[in-house]
Structure 1
Amino acid sequence: MSVDLRAVPRPALFGLVPLTIIQVAGTVGASSHQTGHRGLDALAVVIAVLGPLSLVACVRWPRQVLAFVVAITAAYLLRDYAYGPVFASLAIATVVTVVRGHRLVAWAGLGAVVGVFAIQRLAYDHPWSWSGLSGVVAWALLVVAVGEVIRVRRERISASRQARAEASRRQANEERLQIARELHDVVAHHISLINVQAGVALHIVDRKPEQAQTALEAIKDASKDALVELRSLVGVLRDVDEKAPRRPSGTLASLEDLVERSAHAGLQVHKTVRGDVRPLPSSVELAALRIVQEAITNVVRHAGATHAEIELAYDEAALSVTVEDDGRGFAPGDAGGTGIIGMRERAETLGGTLEVGRSAAGGTRVHASLPLRSRS
């Protein structure tokens, strides 16, 4: 069993030197005062030295070191040497073994030493007393108790660190999921409008070039807005400060641009606001905007509609968002689409709900209720 001294903490190595001196000097002193025991010889000194030296390997091999220390301590007792600080190595090895989780081994080792002590008292006809034996047992229990306290404390510290690390990982996962939602919504909305406008421009470029120019201008505006939002998201991923956009993004004020761009794509959108308009938490405004964007994107891409209604209803407890169109209508199979899943996740993150079904005009109706205060 080789020991790499470089793997042993420096304070532990430095502490073994005074411990060795204390054990040797204490053993010599005890032998001079306890005349009823065997006199000091070379074996007693060797045992006093071997105990501290063996602790060098205690961190890596706690059970083996404890067994060795128990063996030399039992040999010390059976030789009937004077009682002294030779038991310090046993106490340290026991505490380390308990802290490393080998509790039964520690109990067994101390129990064996207590048993040898009782045998030694009887074998050498020393005065017997229950108080003396009780003192030895109490010392053994104290050593184990110290080890248990240290072990529990270390486990609590480790559990606390793991909990913090888990919370950090969970927060990072939630942030990545939020960024993924943002990327999906930004790309899907703007690219869908660009795709529709590009199709219109190709269709009428020869017959109505002035309308083709309008479609190309709409493509330019949509692509510019998409780049601004994508740059902002990439800045978050890179953890760098990007130049602030020239106009606010991620607020319900952006719906005016959405209505205008949708008109260029051939979809007439009408916005209605009910209740007292007032500043809302940024998370609610962003969720409402992305839900409306995704709903309009689905209308442009899939519904074949010509008209859509956006309604924002403010009340004291929640913001209600409703988007209806006069297109093909809602099919239950569409409920599992990525866009609808993303809208529902945004609403549920805030403690709200999202419903998708048929509108009164026969198209699709998306309704979300977003609480203004998160649920505890």
Structure 2
Amino acid sequence: MNMTGTCMEKESVSLYQTKGSTDKEYHCHLDPVDGGWVVYGRNGRRGSALTHQAKTATPLPYAEAKGIYDTLVRTKLKGGYSPDDAGVPYQGTDLESDFTGVLPQLLKPIADEHAARLLRDDDWVMQEKDDGHRRMVSVKAPGELVGSKRNGFPAPLPLGVVADLSALPAGTILDGEALPGPRLSIFDILELGGRRLHELGFEERHALLTTTVKSGANVSVSPVYKGTASKTEAFERIRQKRGEGVVFRKKDATYAHGRPASGGDALKHVFYETGTFVVDRVAKDKRSVHVVVFDAAGAKVDMGKVTISSNVDIPPVGALVDVRYLYAHPDGKLHISTYKGIRDDLDISACSAAQLKYKADDALEEGEGDDEESDAAAG
């Protein structure tokens, strides 16, 4: 295996990722073909048949292909892959020292019919899905808190949030969502004073959370709705106010970081879709940007313009941004789009065309899009 390579040399690297029930491998290749150079990846579950992913449509000059190869490797490392076959995120890379090791549980999305069944199922409870950025909080000592993003890298915490949580004992880990204000909405607790709570059921964990954290000006505890009547009333109220969606959890659901291969005891239902896009260009003399995603071959797919409201900065070209929309058109347009903000906790692999949600009669044919698993739409 050659990770650094020398001038005009064939290169390859094997990377691994183990998170929760996920155990994946990704192999990056830079090979000479027909007088030029091509870049491709092969990925899949460890030990299974791997999927080929071309990153260059045709052979390119070495320097151009090498740049694509290096970007691919960096993207996978930043996304949690490791050259160490143990698959521990960032182990053996220069990112290891920054990685907090605190990773959230990610949720599988469900359709309307599934959500309707869970509203009637008393074994499942419901919370509102806050429209913000995932934020884990680790208490190192009373008043000494470390925030982390969904990818496990550090994130600053507002002073008001730190003040509201300053009395928590060391060894406490909270799971929540960073919201405008700035505020923090907390919906789960994973450790309390050094005691691991992962194996407790969600209802029991949430009861501990409500007695441990008191809502204040900067921090709130997300309420839980139980029973068909309470869940249905909250579901309709959240939808009417154009909230992002809801989260269903089994009462006895344990907590495991990462996303399950299928199903799971924690599921999300969104009323509006949220996607991650790259700013391709800024409209001249207008508060709007053109955004793109990338298809399976790595080609840009133009998704049209998104308006930027006057109270926020216009994101620069190349920035990764979240956009909320009702559905996507196959001809490249987002219907009823709303700019949500820059994502500095994701990488370019999140901007896949496969994440887009189309109207039922406009959906992609089966097999189209990127085959690689993506956490872009995670909660």
Q: TM-score range by the shorter chain?
A: under 0.3
Greater strand fraction, Structure 1 or Structure 2: 2
* Greater helix content: 1
**TM (normalized to structure 2)?**
0.20
